[in-house]
Amino acid sequence: MANEIYGLVAEFDTPGSLLRAAEGLRDFGYKKFETYSPFPIHGMDAAMGLKDSILGWIVFVFGATGLTCGFLLQTWVSVYAYKITVSGKPLFSFQAFVPVCFEVMILFSGLAAVFGMFTLNSLPELYHAMFNHPRFAIASSHGFFVSVEAEDGLYSEVETWQLLEKLGGKHIATVEA
């Protein structure tokens, strides 16, 4: 039984060469490729053709939901459930609701950010095919890699290999899944 192929991986010397390789792959039409570096590289999202994340919208919606829930809960409690007049103040004294509304909004936003990030990033991912590449361990210290998945519509082992060489890739290898 032959091992299934994940794709090709190439190593680059500098962050700039990795950025140019990502632009080259994007311009050539590849969609399923990933870059790996020990630190964020400014402009990499644009070079890869990635869209903006929807995480901000998720956090906004959950924050607004938390704010609304906190406000409605306090309104219901003070106006309907426990009608207690304190110092002659009206039952609906919304100014006193601000701290609780703020805290519930922050709670909902924080939970949405954490669980939204985990969901959008498909985490936890305990295994990835790139761990099979013998040189991939240096990606966390001083290595710059790009991998092209075999599932990409343009993937052809020979043509993709030649393109990675043309883009300046070194130590190009096939990665098994």
Taking only the tens of pLDDT, the chain with its 177 residues reads 457 899 999 999 999 999 999 999 999 999 999 999 999 999 999 999 999 999 999 999 999 999 999 999 999 999 999 998 888 889 998 999 999 999 999 999 999 999 999 999 999 988 889 988 999 999 989 999 999 999 999 999 999 999 999 999 999 999 998
Number of structural domains the chain divides into: 2
Determine if the pTM surpasses 0.75: yes
Note whether 128 and 110 are same-domain residues: no
What domain range is 93 assigned to? 55-120
Same structural domain, 116 and 59: yes
**Considering 120, 142, 161, which residue would you say is the last residue of a domain?**
120
Which residue, 120, 147, 166, sits at the end of a domain?
Answer: 120
Same domain, 75 and 98: yes
Distance CA 12, CA 23 (A): 14
**Same domain, residue pair 21 and 104:** no
